[in-house]
Amino acid sequence: MNDAPALKNADIGIAMGKNGTDVAKNAADMVLTDDNFVTIVKAVKNGRHIYDNIKKAVHFLLATNVGEIVVIFFGLLLGWETPLLAIHLLWINLVTDSLPAIALGMEPMEKDIMDKKPQDAKKSLFADGLWGKIFIEGAMIGILTLMAFSIGNKLYGLTVARTMAFASLSILELVHSINVRTEQSIFKIGIFKNLYLTGAILLGIFLQVIVITIPQICNVFKVAELNSMQWEIVAGISILPLIIVELQKKINEYKFGKVIFFSSKEKVSKNLQNKNI
């Protein structure tokens, strides 16, 4: 029997790698090299994991870039001096953005990944409100950076204000990468579970401090060394995204309730109970 037409028309055609015909293999979307159907489950599991991590990395990169746009656009709109220079934005895009994005791509697999509903193949990556999250989170990052610039400009002058905005935006983005890891509270899954992300955040903060504290590098970036009070202001502003997003997640939990995914055994038991069997 020629299975090629059926494999071609199926949503996902699966052929055997050892015993299947060449025609079937060419028509199939998936080829089981070990002829073991259990491999399908593993493949789906890994596929969901990869998809989730790509989505998290894209989410983070776009949200942080929207934040940078908000800083420049509204800073000019308010008639202020440019809050950030071109070299500051270049540094942030090369270091602060790239390291956490790579680390988010190595986020450990979620425990309930196989209990979630399957994704519609035709659905956009940005479906289910992702665009809204990106713009809201980007606006949050931008507003907090402008707040740091405004405080610095009012109390210490333009150069210090730019330095505070530069440091705040860098650390804000690093802190926000923690929020992107999960839709649940970060404290439920473990804030340090992704060691790659923890390392990326610590390295990013370390490099940012070096840029602002070493005089020779300060001259290149046209920033000033910050005193302890100025660093405290930067730290206080930079930690706010974690607090704000955690509160938002908690409000959503009370407002919309928890999304519960049943395992296969639980689903069977639930169906039997509903049918009074």
Taking 50 as the threshold, does the pLDDT of residue 39 lie above it? yes
pLDDT in the model for residue 163: 96
Taking 80 as the threshold, does the pLDDT of residue 238 lie above it? yes
Sorting pLDDT into bands at 50, 70 and 90, what band is 262?
A: very low
Show the 3-state SS of 169-233: HHHHHHHHHHHCCCCCCHHHHCCCCCHHHHHHHHHHHHHHHHHHHCHHHHHHHCCCCCCHHHHHH
Per-residue pLDDT reduced to its tens digit, 62-98: 999 999 999 999 999 998 999 999 999 999 998 888 9
- In DSSP notation, 56-72 reads HHHHHHHHHHHHHHHHH
C-alpha span between 54 and 130 (Å, rounded): 13
Q: What is the CATH number of domain 54-262?
A: 1.20.1110.10
High-pLDDT (> 90) share of the chain, %: 55
pLDDT in the model for residue 3: 74
| Average of per-residue pLDDT values in the chain | 86
Element (H, E) at 30: strand 30-32
Sorting pLDDT into bands at 50, 70 and 90, what band is 182?
A: confident
